[in-house]
Amino acid sequence: MTVYSDNILDHFQFPRNKKKLIKKNVSFSVNNSSCGDSLTFEGHIENNVLTDIGFTGSGCAISMASASIISQKVKGLKIEEILNIKKEDVFLYLGIDLSINRVKCALLAWEGILKLVSEKK
């Protein structure tokens, strides 16, 4: 079975929130050196809520689609709610079966977003 579901391909080809933020107060970069994936997240946190998020970077389809999908999920959530997102939740959002060697691609964005919002804690 392919990991490139229609949803993943859609988010890869038309990523949501792939933008630089003008109004921001947190940013965090992550990279996966073994794959060459790198992502920079920017966010605006107001009254303990992530009111806006944007990301830039490059990587494989899984890592880019994952950044797009998770960024949609976390926008508008309270920091505690974001920090409560587990990696199992990320797999549910993506809706695909990932092999052990591709899990790190999917989780790069999750790691980046958790660190992004932790900055303001």
Partner 1 sequence: MDTFKNIKGDFPIFNSHINLVYADSASTTLKPQAVVKAINEYYTKYPANVHRGVYKIAETATERYEATRTTVAKFINAKTPNEVVFTYSATDGINMVSSGIEFLFQKDSEIVVTETEHHANFLPWQKLAKLTNSKLQVIKYIKGKGLDIFISDKEKTVNLKKYVSSKTKILAISTVSNVIGDINPVKEIIYEAKKINPNILVLVDACQSISSEKIDVSELNCDFLVFSSHKIFGPTGCGVLFGKGKILNSMKPYRVGGGSIKAVSEFSTEFLDAPYRFESGTPPIASVIGLGSALEYVSGLNFKEVKKHNSRLSTAFIAGLKSCFDNKVSIYSLGETGIVAFSHSKIHAHDLAQLLAEKNICVRAGHHCAMPLHRALKVEATLRASFSIYNNMSDVEKILSALKEAEVFFKVN
Considering only 3, 49, 85, 103, the residue that binds partner 1 (CB under 8 A) is 3
Q: Which pair of structure tokens corresponds to residue 64?
A: 């880019």
Choices 27-35, 70-78, 85-93, 112-120; region in contact with partner 1 by CB under 8 A: 27-35
Distance, C-alpha 115 to centroid of its chain: 11
Considering only 10, 49, 60, 85, the residue that binds partner 1 (CB under 8 A) is 60
Q: Which pair of structure tokens corresponds to residue 19?
A: 């933008």
CB contact set of 35 (below 8 Å; sequence gap of 6+): 59, 60, 63, 104, 105
Q: What is the DSSP string of 87-109?
A: HHHHHHHHTSPPPTTTHHHHHHH
**Counting contacts by CB under 8 A, is residue 73 touching partner 1?**
no
Choices 14-22, 45-53, 56-64, 72-80; region in contact with partner 1 by CB under 8 A: 56-64
CB of 102 to partner 1, least distance (A): 7
> Using CB under 8 A as the criterion, which residues of the chain lie in contact with partner 1 when the complex forms?
2-4, 13, 33-38, 58-62, 102, 105
